[in-house]
Amino acid sequence: MGVGKVRRSEVGVRVLLVEDDKAIADSLAIGLGREGFQVEAVGTAREALKAPSADLVLLDLGLPDGHGFEVCRRLRAGSSVPIIILTARDDEVDRVTGLELGADDYVVKPFSFRELVARIRAVSRRTGSQQPGQVTQQIGPLEIDRRRHRVTVRGEEIALTPKEYDLLSVLANDPGAMVTRREILAQVWDPHWYGTSKTVDVHIASLRRKLGDPAWIETSRGVGFRLAVAE
User: Site residues (CB under 5 A) for Ca ion?
Assistant: 20, 60, 62
Minimum Å distance from CB 110 to Ca ion?
Answer: 13
CA distance 55 to 36: 13
44 versus 137: smaller Cβ distance to Ca ion: 44
Q: Residues 6 or more apart from 84 whose CB is under 8 A from it?
A: 56, 57, 58, 59, 103, 104, 105, 106, 107, 116, 119, 120, 123
Minimum Å distance from CB 202 to Ca ion?
Answer: 25
Q: How far is CA 78 from CA 66, 123, 150, 196, 209, in A?
A: 19, 19, 16, 28, 19
10 versus 60: smaller Cβ distance to Ca ion: 60
Preceding peptide of 110 cis, ω within 30°:
yes
Minimum Å distance from CB 13 to Ca ion?
Answer: 24
62 versus 175: smaller Cβ distance to Ca ion: 62
**Torsion sign, CA atoms 144, 145, 148, 154:** negative
Minimum Å distance from CB 19 to Ca ion?
Answer: 6
CA distance 96 to 153: 28
20 versus 100: smaller Cβ distance to Ca ion: 20
15 versus 18: smaller Cβ distance to Ca ion: 18
Q: Would residue 211 be called left, alpha or beta, if left means φ above 0 and alpha means ψ between -120 and 50 degrees?
A: alpha
22 versus 147: smaller Cβ distance to Ca ion: 22
- The residue number with the shortest CB distance to Ca ion is 62
Q: What type of residue is 86? A: L
Minimum Å distance from CB 25 to Ca ion?
Answer: 9
Minimum Å distance from CB 60 to Ca ion?
Answer: 4
Q: Report the b/e string of 148-167 with b at 16+ CB within 10 A.
A: ebebebeeeebebbbbbbbb
